Structure 1
């Protein structure tokens, strides 16, 4: 009998999207960002190194990297940071070993202490090939056992899990299909994710305007890429959306985006920026897998033109009130368009 390969078996249990490869015929990749508190930065880096190997590289008091982490045949760098531009800037201004004036050092320590109560630490993965993404749940488990705290641990916390899946291609019809699928399932995703109040009252995951949803979910809407980007920017000139399209659109047409939203925080990349789910890292049954399965409902709907047309027509009937009570709760009734195998 051959030796049992646990890693290969776990990978086989991790569900994959209908389209697994990019336009370059390489496995699609996904970056992951996890926000939480309760652990120091060096401890976080040590835990990830325990799971994935690699070497720790301290850039400042507020920025660490884990270099050459191993995920199967893939190697990549993880970032660990206090998620505040001010704190990172402050840390870069001084070498970690440099001596500073005592008063300034005290002030920085007080600021850091306060920030750590409300500003999350953030683990930022490299773009990981989808067949290796399952390994992140092992990292999450180790962080939880070490005392990481999620968004429900305090009223001020608003910690999220962000996923940045690479698109299978950048054709305008593909981008449009994904946007339509997401908008059609948005209310279901919000309920399914049980988005914490602390996150719902922040602007970071504001819903798309109804006028934009009506435009995109009209089956007769057939934009080219220029119009698709322009319409998005007209209705959504902001990063604060549960599905932030600005990094993708900046990758496709940088000047068109920065003419409207000139923000250095928008990093061009051929991915979505899905930021709806909570981070509930301290809860025993929480992990990446549920949010990933929910996202796969978007992937599957985007890949199925017939089902996508049907859900768009149903959404318009619901939003116009034509069907009366039949679609009274869209988050429940749109569930008939979901794949039960992913629930």
Structure 2
């Protein structure tokens, strides 16, 4: 299959450097060692055990790739309880691969490696009722200013209902609290922030409604990287300590459908591409914002009418 990962509307940072994308992919039915060796055979480099069951592929064509069981037990002190937790967790907890920041041109190579994992038996979200597995894209920001950071956030908030309706994620992931939708009160407050919010207003507005990581678009890593003191004031030092700060949009909405023939990483890239295409059009953002305020009253009983209305607006602009 020939893939074409379309360039973002703003492909470089304000400094002129190419924007990079870190990728995390969850899957089951291969253990960490098996996955690491398959990745090294496909991409080059050396598969090596880092600690216990944590593996790493070093020196591949995509740089270093971490492979580990996605559970808090893996970083706990070794004990009988910790080992039991890991053993039992393998029935429901995915193995996760985490790449270094990649260029857009390297995403096709990663997709080829995911195909090799599929051929070896890796399973995705749809293979079990408890498999709520995802693909996370960590997309580098354009500029370290509140105004620049806000635009894709607002774009996502305005079209999230349509994305969930038109391109549904796996049912398991809608039930489990890992990719909760933004509260409608947050969407309204993001609109009312205007185009030039202060860093404190942006962080406090978001965290007032979303103080946790379990959202389709998780903004806390950006806030930790750029405005850590404000984030501490907003959600507390204990929560902030557990966040890996990085100047990237942590896009958690996409499914991992690694075992499905019709699926590719490009499918999930196109979800984020749409967000940035909306963010790049000031007239479209304004139209969506005005329509959202007109459509929503004090109480929102159903999100479907806005999903349909925002979809109509996207279609008018050639983006649905």
Superposed pair shares fold, TM > 0.5:
yes
Query: Which structure 1 residue ranges, 5 or more long, are not aligned?
Result: 1-5, 95-103, 322-326
After TM superposition, the structure 1 stretch with the greater mean CA deviation from structure 2, 236-245 or 312-321, is 312-321
The reply to whether residue 197 of structure 1 matches residue 171 of structure 2 is yes
Residue equivalent to 2:258: 281
Q: Larger C-alpha radius of gyration, 1 or 2?
A: 1
State how many pairs are aligned: 312
Alpha-carbon distance between aligned partners in 2 of 1:46 and 1:174, rounded to the nearest angstrom: 40
Asked whether the equivalents of residues 45 and 80 of structure 1 are also in contact (C-alpha less than 8 Å), the reply is yes
Please report how far the alpha carbon of residue 257 of structure 1 lies from its aligned counterpart in structure 2 after TM superposition.
1.1
After TM superposition, the structure 1 stretch with the greater mean CA deviation from structure 2, 213-222 or 184-193, is 213-222
The reply to whether residue 207 of structure 1 matches residue 194 of structure 2 is no
Asked whether the equivalents of residues 146 and 196 of structure 2 are also in contact (C-alpha less than 8 Å), the reply is no
RMSD: 2.4
The reply to whether residue 257 of structure 1 matches residue 257 of structure 2 is no
Alpha-carbon distance between aligned partners in 2 of 1:192 and 1:170, rounded to the nearest angstrom: 32
Query: What does 1:45-56 correspond to in 2, within 5 Å?
Result: 45-56=36-47
Residue equivalent to 2:204: 230
After TM superposition, the structure 1 stretch with the greater mean CA deviation from structure 2, 331-340 or 195-204, is 331-340
- Per-residue CA shift, 1:147-206, capped at 9, x if unaligned? 001111111221111111001112211111111100111012212442222211222211
The reply to whether residue 148 of structure 1 matches residue 85 of structure 2 is no
Alpha-carbon distance between aligned partners in 2 of 1:156 and 1:179, rounded to the nearest angstrom: 29
Residue equivalent to 1:310: 287
Asked whether the equivalents of residues 147 and 195 of structure 2 are also in contact (C-alpha less than 8 Å), the reply is no
Asked whether the equivalents of residues 219 and 309 of structure 1 are also in contact (C-alpha less than 8 Å), the reply is no
Given the alignment, which residue of 320, 326, 329 partners 2:297? 320
The reply to whether residue 176 of structure 1 matches residue 150 of structure 2 is yes
The reply to whether residue 268 of structure 1 matches residue 268 of structure 2 is no
The reply to whether residue 82 of structure 1 matches residue 69 of structure 2 is yes
Residue equivalent to 1:98: none
3-state secondary structure, aligned to 1:124: strand
Note closer, same or farther for the CA distance 1:258–1:231 as it changes in structure 2 (3 Å cut): same
Asked whether the equivalents of residues 27 and 133 of structure 2 are also in contact (C-alpha less than 8 Å), the reply is yes
Given the alignment, which residue of 300, 303, 309 partners 1:333? 309
Per the normalisation by structure 2, the TM-score is 0.90
Note closer, same or farther for the CA distance 1:172–1:16 as it changes in structure 2 (3 Å cut): same
Please report how far the alpha carbon of residue 109 of structure 1 lies from its aligned counterpart in structure 2 after TM superposition.
6.1
Alpha-carbon distance between aligned partners in 1 of 2:193 and 2:86, rounded to the nearest angstrom: 51
- Per-residue CA shift, 1:71-97, capped at 9, x if unaligned? 4xxxx211100011213435xx49xxx
Alpha-carbon distance between aligned partners in 2 of 1:232 and 1:109, rounded to the nearest angstrom: 37
Please report how far the alpha carbon of residue 290 of structure 1 lies from its aligned counterpart in structure 2 after TM superposition.
1.0
Given the alignment, which residue of 243, 263, 273 partners 1:296? 273
Please report how far the alpha carbon of residue 24 of structure 1 lies from its aligned counterpart in structure 2 after TM superposition.
2.5
